[in-house]
Amino acid sequence: MRKDSVRVKKVDSVHGIMPFLMKKRTEAEVYYVEKVDVTNLLKYLEKINKGKEKHEKATLFHAIITALAKTIYNRPLLNRYISGQRYYDRKNILFGFVAKNKLEDNAEERLIILDIKNEMNLNSISNKILEIVSKTRKDNSNGMNDILGIVTKFPRWLLNFVMSLVRWLDYHGILPSFLSDGDINFTTVMLSNLGSVKANCCYHHLNNYGTNSIVATVGVMHEEDGKTFVDIGFTLDERIADGIYFAKSIKMLSHILQNPEMLEEEVSVKIEL
């Protein structure tokens, strides 16, 4: 029994054999890029941000996280993962990303974990992200960063032994919480906001360590025929669902972002397309 999830005991035979045919996530990756029209979304953000200070404003990145959360609540297989060759449904929707203290090459990176509750919406999610990022940068640390700072000072032989033990504990579902709770490898979606550094989305591999089944990269906004678009790249573990399920999920995400008033609703509100 894993602390963060419930084991899925009934899956069809095709999915049941997949963790044995493709034991690693990196053997089961599919990659897809969705070009989303965010013209209406930018107008909406401008409206709700009117009169706010810069550090209080909801951003495109916050809106994408909210839309992803709404999609996952409506498409729960996206919150599934495989560990120890078994399927699990995660109890919470978790997002993980990296925040730099400054947009400089040598700036330190901080791991950020966002736990989405079903009553949250764009406003509360945006405020929560701003609060967590501000606190992490102010404290100049968080739990996982502190742990990594210690273990990376170990000699190579000891670090290899420790990591082998950690992987064994994770495989058997008995990894201590202090090693997983602050680690973005144990989140529903791992995000990278490349648009913040004026770069386009890219392919980003999954990791064989942890429980993360989805990586998303957000690209820079660009203009086409008077409209504004952003590309979002997704890398998915194909073992958790089929292609049709993924395609319908991405269609839902795009629909939400093109109808930004939906972001005002609680993320758990059911969506019919």
Q: What is the pLDDT of residues 85-122, one digit of tens each?
A: 999 999 999 999 987 665 555 556 678 999 999 999 99
CATH superfamily entry for domain 5-264: Chloramphenicol acetyltransferase-like domain (3.30.559.10)
pLDDT for res 105: 55
Report the C-alpha gap between 207 and 186 in whole angstroms.
Answer: 10
| Residue 25 per-residue DSSP state | G
Give pLDDT, residue 253: 98
Task: Provide the 8-state DSSP code for 154.
Answer: S
User: Do 183 and 210 touch, CB atoms closer than 8 A?
Assistant: yes
> Cα-flanking dihedrals φ and ψ of residue 65, to 5°?
-60, -45
Selection from 250, 243, 237, 245 nearest residue 81 by Cα: 237
Measure the CA–CA gap between 239 and 30, rounded to whole angstroms: 10
Helices marked H in 90-195: 122-139, 143-151, 156-171, 177-180
CB under 8 Å to 181, separation ≥6 — which residues? 113, 143, 144
User: In this structure, how many other beta carbons lie within 10 angstroms of the beta carbon of residue 165?
Assistant: 11
What's the length of the chain? 273
Residue 142, pLDDT score: 59
Single out the residue of 45, 61, 169 nearest to residue 125, CA to CA.
Answer: 61
pLDDT at 261: 97
- Helix 122-139 vs helix 60-74: angle between axes, to the nearest 10 degrees? 120
**Tokens standing for 13?**
């035979």
Collect the ranges in the chain with pLDDT lower than 70. 100-109, 139-145
Question: Is 99 within 8 Å of 112 (Cβ atoms)?
Answer: yes
Number of H helices, E strands in the chain: 8, 10
Phi, psi of 115 (to 5 degrees): -100, 115
Q: In the chain, what are the domain boundaries?
A: 5-264
Q: Where does residue 58 fall: left (phi above 0), alpha (psi -120 to 50 degrees), or beta otherwise?
A: beta
